[in-house]
Amino acid sequence: MSDNLPANHPPVAKPKIGVLLLNLGTPEATDYWSVRRYLKEFLSDPRVIETPRLLWWLILNIVILSFRPQKSGHAYAQIWDKEKNESPLRVITRQQSDALAQRLGGEENVVVDFAMRYGNPSTEAQLKALQQAGCQKILLVPLYPQYSATTTATANDKAFEVLGKMRWQPAVRTAPAYFDDPKYVETLARSIEEGVAKLDFVPDLVVTSYHGMPVEYLERGDPYHCQCLKTTRLVREHLGWDKGRLMVTFQSRFGRAKWLEPYTDVTLAALPGRGIKKIAILAPAFSADCIETLEEIAMQGKETFMHAGGEQFAYIPCLNDSPGGMDMIESIVRRELSGWL
């Protein structure tokens, strides 16, 4: 093609295919202003908070952003990767991106990268970089097993917003939620088996804690709740366990509205009183360990459970960039690239 270009024509990059892993986001540091900037972007998203805009602007800017950054900053500081000076979410998502790039290394025309919906590296910057690298086709991969308007949809929204400003748009595909994908179910089940096998105790119960959402969002048609329940049911069936051995709860509720139940923190406080004093817990809604898993569950959750009379508590990590986790991501990406590769 380049041989036929007219004189003085700008260079034309060789056509490539981009794969962009999308995750939630992270502040740049744990100080007040860094966390405040991140929270303001995150909590200003109408996909995340559906309260009428004017009312929410007042609540967010006058109340929440006055005190929440200090609390969140302290929580981030507990899990911050001090060697890389980044949050675990960004460290792990980069590792996933690098590992996928290696696995797709045999495909000369594929470029793999990652972006965050809130914070950096931004979706806009990464999409533009892929386009400038010659990617005329791009697969967006929201790293959320279960679909929700608050996660998958807003990640895609941001990408479409960027595309809407491009004169020469690449062709784009979006990977679907993979909550019931056999490879995901198998990999998650294996992580539970291996996680439990490593313990020096036998759990009375294994808890699958999913990020929560207001019940109102479910009533408006968000499929997230049903997909969470199906993930745990399929994993339980794959393991061959009875219904009483694997439980679903929902964490991270915010504000006064009713959220999906049962609540993880309330459940952890109640289990020892019911004679369940040895548990293992995991967070299947997260593809990478982050503040909600490492601080809220592995630290706060353990403290709540043990303070209530628990005896043994274990957190089973997310799939992260483990070999099994990367096998699963590679499988999904290759399937969604069908016809392009």
Tens digit of each residue's pLDDT (9 = 90 or more) over 137-181? 999 999 999 999 999 999 999 999 999 999 999 999 999 999 999
How confident is the prediction for the chain on average, in pLDDT?
96
Q: Dihedral, CA atoms, 113, 115, 121, 124, nearest 10 degrees?
A: 100
CA distance 208 to 258: 20
Structural domains of the chain, with CATH: 16-178+324-336 (3.40.50.1400), 182-315 (3.40.50.1400)
DSSP string, 152-165: IIHHHHHHHHHHTT
Tens digit of each residue's pLDDT (9 = 90 or more) over 42-98? 999 999 999 999 999 999 999 999 999 999 999 999 999 999 999 999 999 999 999
Tens digit of each residue's pLDDT (9 = 90 or more) over 194-221? 999 999 999 999 999 999 999 999 999 9
Q: How is residue 216 written in tokens?
A: 């109102």
Q: What is the largest CA-CA distance in the chain?
A: 80
| Type of residue found at 14 | K
Check: CB of residue 114 under 8 Å from CB of residue 97: yes
Tens digit of each residue's pLDDT (9 = 90 or more) over 299-311? 999 999 999 999 9
CA distance 73 to 30: 5
3-state DSSP assignment of residue 292: helix
